[in-house]
Structure 1
Amino acid sequence: MERWRGLKDLVQDAVDNGSRAVERLQKHAAKLPFDLLEQIPPIATPVKGIRLVHDTMVSGVHVAIRLVNRVAGYTIDGVLFVVEQQKEPAGTPGEGEASAPAAPDGGRGTERASP
């Protein structure tokens, strides 16, 4: 199971770091056109607003990607825990784990199997 957890961690880190890098690149790529357009007095004010909307939307999309990535990681951790528990003979703790992995909400709303 540790290999699966390691693979999950690698993929999760790749998605998180990739999203941050793409977000930076997208904002950087739009910077020059916005800078040039803001130098034209009649459209400078609307372009500033459009840049703000653009940057906010790009950030929002990447925040959502990273949130889904995190939730998927917690879900996979839960699935791996259940699979691990089903492999064990009744009444024996597995590899030092006595309970399910902690949920991001501190475990509220989750049921844990009794030992």
Structure 2
Amino acid sequence: MSFLTRVEAIKDLIQEAVDKGATSVEQIHQAIASMPLDALAKRGLLEDKAESVKQSHADTIGTVYDAIRRVNREVGDLATGLIESVEDQIATQKNINKKD
């Protein structure tokens, strides 16, 4: 396995870990964040807006973690592009050396 293949495998591993980590943290965040809203709703302090408030809050949290996952994908795509460029450069250099 070439060095660049290993680098790309490590990149994929890190990217997957960040994605899964963001999803796990989001689930925990959603569960913890809903607790005070559930308590307020139980006491009737949110009146008829309880579900709307809870959904809005959950959507906001989801948007943040979606952004984290999107940035992770973009960084992964950028890293893949850089690795491919280096591989192309190496192949080109080998072809130039063969012609000499």
Matched positions, count: 91
CA distance in 2, matches of 1:18, 1:4: 21
CA distance in 2, matches of 1:40, 1:16: 37
1:90 aligns with 2:98: no
8 Å CA contact 1:37–1:43 kept in 2: the answer is yes
Cα distance change on mapping 1:85 and 1:56 into 2, 3 Å: same
Q: TM-score, with normalisation over the residues of structure 2?
A: 0.81
Asked if structure 2 preserves the Cα contact closer than 8 Å seen for 1:34 and 1:51, the reply is yes
TM-score (norm 1): 0.71
Q: Which has the higher helix share?
A: 2
Partner of 2:18: 15
Alpha carbons of structure 1 residues 7 and 36: separation in structure 2 relative to 1, 3 Å: same
Deviates more, 1:50-59 or 1:12-21: 50-59
- The structure with higher relative contact order (CA 8 Å, sep 6+) is 2
Unaligned runs of 5+ in 1: 92-115
In structure 2, C-alpha distance between the alignment counterparts of 1:20 and 1:86, rounded to whole Å:
37
Could you say what secondary structure the match of 1:90 adopts? helix
* One-letter code aligned to 2:95: A
Q: What is the aligned-residue identity percentage?
A: 31
